[in-house]
Amino acid sequence: MKAMILKGVSSFSENSAPLVPTELPEPVAGEGEILIAVCACGVCHTELDEIEGRTPPPAFPVILGHQVVGKVAARGNKAERFQPGDRVGVGWIHWVCGVCAACRTGNENLCERFCATGRDAPGGYAEFMTVPEAFAYPIPAVFSDTEAAPLLCAGAIGYRSLRLANLQDGQNLGLTGFGVSAHLVLKMVRHRDPQVKIFVFARSERERAFAHDLGAAWTGATEEAPPEKLHAIIDTTPAWKPVLEALKHLAPGGRLVINAIRKEERDKTELLNLDYPVHLWLEKEIKSVANVARQDIREFLELAAAIPLLPEVEEYSLADANRALAELKAGKIRGAKVLRMAPCTLSFSSPSTGGIRKSTQIISH
């Protein structure tokens, strides 16, 4: 099978190519596993964290990718949940132990032995992959393959972030950074509570214009002050500076939810500017988001299908994975970047009233 593999931690620039095209044997489904013929795989900032060593895989080489949509190609012994040909998805959560204190109390995202797709186990930057069947999800027919892929991580983690934000009816929500996850959160909130005003902080004019097009009440640069205080802010950036800026804009008792697996070191000195009265006083809270649980993905897919919540997508070929990642690092973002392999479906259900399917931009050489 064709795969793009990462052989080791690498500095990443627009002209570098840390992922190497490789021919590998097709994997075999083990007991309780399914073999998936990959149709699409979303490109996530976490892949940059893996490549650049902020959350390095435990061993190399490794196949990245944890927003996977594909067809069941084969089943291992005792795998009975899906039938060959079923369309399924795989997210960041690849396996948990089920017996540690976190798992026993319903917090499997905090499992002591949490195994991540595309980091601890081979992911979807390949034509085939395997996964325990308990960690695969049916994909609603309303979504095309490339629309469904970013929902499995960016969408699900955005859903978890919004839940942790504890936003009440009519309160103001801020979004710092406006990539895949944030644009899905904005669409979700606009559907669930049109009275909520959403304020978007983004470094580029392109991102701010995109947020405005999707219905943001206000957009501004990271350092700008919004016209109103915010009851909750979700930060999806890889940097530290937006954290301090966001804390300034919280209302008393407000909560900042940090949706990032790692923060980059380059502006860590910003934390030296932390000022207790300005940033933390008046019972402001900071909450981090750690991974996702299976329940997050199941609930979000159900909600996204009911809306329907359709991400804007740019498609790339598997061979163009390095270019997609380089553009992501450079901030050339409008919606989700997705690697497209063979299609699982040639047609899909039309969205109901309220859903708008955008034309997909195909970017490949």
Residue that has been written with the tokens 């944890």 in this structure: 66
Residue ending a domain, among 288, 308, 327, is 288
Asked if 175 and 28 sit in the same domain, the reply is: no
Quote the domain boundaries for residue 234: 155-288
Q: What is the pLDDT of residue 304?
A: 96
Asked if 270 and 296 sit in the same domain, the reply is: no
Q: What is the pLDDT of residue 345?
A: 58
> Does residue 350 carry a pLDDT above 50?
no
CATH number assigned to the domain comprising residue 130: 3.90.180.10
> Does residue 262 carry a pLDDT above 80?
yes
Q: What is the pLDDT of residue 356?
A: 36
Asked if 262 and 299 sit in the same domain, the reply is: no
Q: What is the pLDDT of residue 344?
A: 72
Asked if 238 and 275 sit in the same domain, the reply is: yes
Examine residue 61 and say whether the peptide bond preceding it is cis (omega within 30 degrees of 0).
yes
Residue ending a domain, among 268, 288, 308, is 288
Burial class (CB in 10 A: 0-12, 13-18, 19+), 234: buried
Asked if 248 and 182 sit in the same domain, the reply is: yes
For 155, left (φ over 0), alpha (ψ -120 to 50), or beta? alpha
Q: What is the pLDDT of residue 69?
A: 98
Q: Using an 8 Å Cβ cutoff, are 218 and 227 in contact?
A: yes
Dmax over CA atoms of the chain, in Å, equals: 60
Residue ending a domain, among 244, 271, 288, is 288
The arithmetic mean of pLDDT across residues 26-51, rounded, is 97
> Does residue 285 carry a pLDDT above 70?
yes
Sheet of 19-23, strand order: 19-23, 2-6, 62-63
- pLDDT tens profile 194-230: 889 999 999 889 899 999 999 999 999 999 999 999 9
pLDDT higher at 353 or 363: 363
> Does residue 327 carry a pLDDT above 70?
yes
Nearby residues of 253 by Cβ (< 8 Å), 6 or more positions away: 231, 282, 283, 284, 285
Asked if 90 and 170 sit in the same domain, the reply is: no
Q: Using an 8 Å Cβ cutoff, are 69 and 145 in contact?
A: yes
The per-residue pLDDT of the chain, averaged, comes to 91
CA gap 252, 249 in Å, rounded: 10
Asked if 275 and 321 sit in the same domain, the reply is: no
* H runs (alpha helix) in the chain: 45-51, 101-104, 145-148, 154-165, 180-192, 205-213, 241-248, 294-306, 321-329
Range of weakest confidence among 37-51, 129-143, 268-282: 268-282
**Percent helix / strand / coil, the chain, rounded to 5:** 30, 25, 45
Its pTM stands at 0.89
Residue that has been written with the tokens 């997050």 in this structure: 296
Query: What Cα–Cα distance (Å) separates residue 140 from each residue in 131, 192, 306, 339?
Result: 19, 20, 10, 19
∠ Cα 337 93 364 (to 5°): 20
CATH number assigned to the domain comprising residue 256: 3.40.50.720
Number of domains in the chain: 2
The arithmetic mean of pLDDT across residues 146-167, rounded, is 95
Asked if 207 and 249 sit in the same domain, the reply is: yes
Q: What is the pLDDT of residue 14?
A: 65
Asked if 203 and 259 sit in the same domain, the reply is: yes
> Does residue 347 carry a pLDDT above 70?
no
Asked if 18 and 90 sit in the same domain, the reply is: yes
What sign results for the dihedral spanned by CA atoms 180, 186, 190, 193? positive
Residue that has been written with the tokens 């392109």 in this structure: 206
**Residue 52 in tokens:** 């650049």
The arithmetic mean of pLDDT across residues 89-116, rounded, is 97
Asked if 140 and 196 sit in the same domain, the reply is: no
Nearby residues of 13 by Cβ (< 8 Å), 6 or more positions away: 326
- pLDDT tens profile 304-316: 999 999 998 999 9
- pLDDT tens profile 157-200: 999 999 999 998 889 999 999 988 999 999 999 988 888 999 99
> Does residue 54 carry a pLDDT above 70?
yes
Examine residue 57 and say whether the peptide bond preceding it is cis (omega within 30 degrees of 0).
no
DSSP output for 80-139:
-SS-TT-EEEE-SEEE--S-SHHHHTT-GGG-TT-EEBTTTB--SSBSEEEEEGGG-EEP
Asked if 248 and 335 sit in the same domain, the reply is: no
